[in-house]
Structure 1
Amino acid sequence: MPVHTRFEPAGDYRLFLGGQWRQPAGAFEAIDPSTGKPWAVLGQASAEQAGEAVAAARTALRTWRRSTVANRQRILWQIADRIEADPDRWARLLATENGRPIREASVADVPDSAAIFRFFSGLTRDLRGDQVPVEDPHSLVYSTREPLGVVAAVLPWNSPLITLANKIAPALAAGNTVVVKPSEFATASVLEFCALVEDLLPPGVLNVVSGGPETGAALVSHPDVALVTLTGGGPTARRIMAGAASALTPSLMELGGKGALIVAHDADLDRAVTDAVNGIYLANGEACVAASRLLLHESIAEEFLGRFAAIADSIRVGDALDESTQLGPLVSRQHHERVLAHLARARTEGVRVLTGDAPVGSDGFFVRPTLLHDTSGGASVLSEEIFGPVTVAETFTGYDDAVARANNTPYGLAAGVWTADLTRAHLIARELDAGIVWVNKWFDLPAGVPMGGVKASGFGRELCWETLLQYSAAKVVNIGLGAQRVSLWG
Structure 2
Amino acid sequence: MAATEAVTERFTLAEPQPLLIGGREVRAGQTFPAVEPSTGRIWAQVAAGTAGDVDRAVAAAQSAFETWRESSLDTRQALLWAVAERLTRDAGRWPALLATENGRAVREAGLIDVPTAAEIFRFFSGVVRDLHGRTIPCGPGAHVSTTQRPVGVVAAIVPWNSPLISVAHKLAPALAAGNTIVVKPSELASVSTVEFVRLVQDLFPPGVVNVVTGFGHDAGRALVSHPGVAKVSFTGGTETGRRILGDVSNRLVPALMELGGKGAMVVCPDADLDTVTEDVLTGIFAANGEVCFASSRLMVHRDRYDELLERVSARAEAIVVGDALDPATQLGPLVTARHRDLVAARVQAALSEGAELRAGGRVPEMPGELAGGSYYRPTVLASPDGATSASCEEFFGPVLTVEAWTSEDEVVERVNRVAFGLANGVWSADLAQAYRLADRLDSGMVWVNTWFATPLGQPQGGVKASGFGREGAAATLLEYTATKVVHASLDTTRPPMWT
Q: What TM-score, normalized by structure 1, do the two folds share?
A: 0.98
The Cα shift of 1:486 comes to 4.8
Q: How does 1:16-27 map to 2 (within 5 A)?
A: 16-27=20-31
The correspondence for 2:462, drawn from 453, 456, 460, is: 453
Give the structure 2 partner of residue 157 of structure 1.
160
CA distance in 1, matches of 2:445, 2:250: 32
CA distance in 2, matches of 1:74, 1:249: 30
Q: How does 1:326-345 map to 2 (within 5 A)?
A: 326-345=330-349
Higher mean alpha-carbon deviation, 387-396 vs 239-248, is at 239-248
Contact kept in structure 1, 2:22 and 2:60, CA below 8 Å: yes
CA distance in 1, matches of 2:385, 2:402: 11
The answer to whether 1:189 aligns with 2:192 is: yes
Give the structure 2 partner of residue 54 of structure 1.
58
> Residues 309-330 of structure 1: CA distance to partner in whole angstroms, max 9, x if unpaired?
1111111000000000000000
CA distance in 2, matches of 1:399, 1:480: 56
The Cα shift of 1:25 comes to 3.1
Give the structure 1 partner of residue 177 of structure 2.
174
Gaps of 5+ in 1: none
What letter is aligned with 1:192?
Answer: E
Give the structure 2 partner of residue 140 of structure 1.
143
The correspondence for 1:5, drawn from 3, 9, 14, is: 9
Contact kept in structure 1, 2:445 and 2:462, CA below 8 Å: yes
The Cα shift of 1:485 comes to 3.6
The answer to whether 1:114 aligns with 2:118 is: yes
The answer to whether 1:463 aligns with 2:472 is: yes
CA distance in 1, matches of 2:396, 2:82: 34
The Cα shift of 1:480 comes to 2.4
Give the structure 1 partner of residue 215 of structure 2.
212
CA distance in 1, matches of 2:409, 2:299: 12
CA distance in 2, matches of 1:20, 1:245: 32
> Residues 406-433 of structure 1: CA distance to partner in whole angstroms, max 9, x if unpaired?
1110000000011000110010000001
CA distance in 2, matches of 1:10, 1:19: 22
CA distance in 2, matches of 1:377, 1:280: 17
3-state SS of 1:5 partner: coil
The answer to whether 1:71 aligns with 2:89 is: no
Give the structure 2 partner of residue 360 of structure 1.
364
What letter is aligned with 1:151?
Answer: V
Runs (4 or more) in structure 1 with deviation over 6 Å come to none
What letter is aligned with 2:168?
Answer: A
The answer to whether 1:265 aligns with 2:265 is: no
> Residues 164-194 of structure 1: CA distance to partner in whole angstroms, max 9, x if unpaired?
0111100000000000000001100000011
Number of positions where the alignment pairs a residue of Structure 1 with one of Structure 2? 489
The Cα shift of 1:481 comes to 2.9
The Cα shift of 1:482 comes to 5.7
The answer to whether 1:380 aligns with 2:389 is: yes
What letter is aligned with 1:433?
Answer: D
Contact kept in structure 2, 1:25 and 1:46, CA below 8 Å: no
The answer to whether 1:126 aligns with 2:130 is: yes
CA distance in 2, matches of 1:487, 1:184: 65
Give the structure 1 partner of residue 449 of structure 2.
440
> Residues 223-253 of structure 1: CA distance to partner in whole angstroms, max 9, x if unpaired?
1111001000111111111111122211110
Contact kept in structure 2, 1:221 and 1:245, CA below 8 Å: no
The answer to whether 1:480 aligns with 2:489 is: yes
Contact kept in structure 1, 2:344 and 2:362, CA below 8 Å: no
3-state SS of 1:465 partner: coil
Contact kept in structure 1, 2:344 and 2:361, CA below 8 Å: no
The Cα shift of 1:307 comes to 1.0
Give the structure 2 partner of residue 105 of structure 1.
109
The answer to whether 1:200 aligns with 2:209 is: no
3-state SS of 1:29 partner: strand
CA distance in 1, matches of 2:92, 2:309: 36
Give the structure 1 partner of residue 425 of structure 2.
416
Q: What TM-score, normalized by structure 2, do the two folds share?
A: 0.96
CA distance in 2, matches of 1:479, 1:408: 50
CA distance in 2, matches of 1:118, 1:200: 15
> Residues 82-112 of structure 1: CA distance to partner in whole angstroms, max 9, x if unpaired?
1111222100000000011000000100111
3-state SS of 1:225 partner: coil
Contact kept in structure 1, 2:385 and 2:404, CA below 8 Å: no
The Cα shift of 1:66 comes to 0.2
CA distance in 1, matches of 2:64, 2:354: 58
> Residues 350-380 of structure 1: CA distance to partner in whole angstroms, max 9, x if unpaired?
2101001232113200111100011342101
CA distance in 2, matches of 1:359, 1:188: 27
Q: How does 1:346-357 map to 2 (within 5 A)?
A: 346-357=350-361
Q: How does 1:305-324 map to 2 (within 5 A)?
A: 305-324=309-328
3-state SS of 2:213 partner: coil
Contact kept in structure 2, 1:221 and 1:246, CA below 8 Å: no
CA distance in 1, matches of 2:308, 2:285: 16
Contact kept in structure 2, 1:146 and 1:472, CA below 8 Å: yes
The Cα shift of 1:265 comes to 0.5
Q: How does 1:245-260 map to 2 (within 5 A)?
A: 245-260=249-264
Percent of aligned pairs sharing the same letter:
51
Gaps of 5+ in 2: 366-370
CA distance in 2, matches of 1:26, 1:11: 13
CA distance in 2, matches of 1:165, 1:462: 10
Contact kept in structure 2, 1:382 and 1:392, CA below 8 Å: yes
Contact kept in structure 2, 1:156 and 1:186, CA below 8 Å: yes
Contact kept in structure 2, 1:222 and 1:247, CA below 8 Å: no
Contact kept in structure 2, 1:403 and 1:432, CA below 8 Å: yes
